[in-house]
Amino acid sequence: MAVCLASVVSSALPDLRYQPTPKRVRVRVAGTPVADTTQAVLVWEPHRVVPQYAVPIEDVLAQLVPQRPGDDVISGGVEKHRADGPMVLTPSTGFSVHTSDGDVFTVRTAEHECPGAAFQPHDPDLAGYVVLDFNAFDEWLEEDEIILGHPRDPFKRIDIRQSSRTVRIERDGVVLAESSRPILLFETSLPVRFYLPPADVRTDLLHPSDTTTVCAYKGVASYWSLPGAAGANAIADIVWSYPRPLPDAVPITGMLCFFDERVDVMLGGVRRERPNSPWANQP
């Protein structure tokens, strides 16, 4: 019997997972080195979909102070999502939510203290390692290149393809975009995204937003909102674009993409089902 590989990956989600990497990994806060190692491993705690880097304790250049009960730890709050499978923890969950047994540490340098920014799982395969909170430090390097958002998953990728299929975007019966020259972006485990030339989008209906987000694979995104009109509800941050994407995503530079979860998409004249994703329950 053949095996669907996506189901294999999904079945491991409740487990503590790790993967060694040959990359040199360096961490800094305000220019001060925190770690420098060539023995890093990527670690996924149970139910997490995004990895964090773990480094050998001997390669940590800062002080690790055991966390005491009652110490303040910064948390982003728990965000859980079910999409045709088990509960998952997204990057918005926050590092302080741990789903495996272990010890929590404050990371202390001469000038900075990062409460709860290190976690040592109680697992023999990760003995001698601490997982570091990506967001607690302001610079991460793989070899000599800065990485953004979170460590990249070696089992995830993006594929960008030009297409001649017609894409039509509507919301509440109003046509927001129509293009026969879309660029389709395929990202592992996420819905296909349709990037459209600005000339094919009703940009006159959109208002710039102050929102920005960071993708480890594509870069920093800017957003636009759709104000309410003619009885329709306003929709915040419905469109995004990467004005200066990372090298892997250069073909989508300046293209506009809608959240399929919030609009109606016709591809080649056929209406698509709205995706079930972490963004599906937003207005």
Closest C-alpha to 92, from 151, 130, 135, 53 = 135
* Phi, psi for 128 (deg, rounded to 5): 85, 5
**CA within 13 Å, CB half, 282:** 15
Mean pLDDT of the chain: 90
Note the pLDDT of residue 77: 38
149 beta partners: none
Superfamily of domain 158-271: Domain of unknown function (DUF427) (2.170.150.40)
Distance CA 248, CA 157 (A): 10
Which of residues 63 and 91 earns the better pLDDT score?
63
Would you call 143 helix, strand, or coil by DSSP? coil
* pLDDT above 70: residue 63: yes
pTM of the model: 0.87
Distance CA 207, CA 116 (A): 39
Ranges of each domain in the chain: 5-146, 158-271
Look up residue 87 and give its two tokens. 């509960």
Domains 5-146 and 158-271 share a fold: yes
Tell me, what DSSP letter sits at residue 8?
A: H
Is 226 within 8 Å of 176 (Cβ atoms)? yes
Note the pLDDT of residue 263: 94
Domain 5-146 class, CATH top level: mainly beta
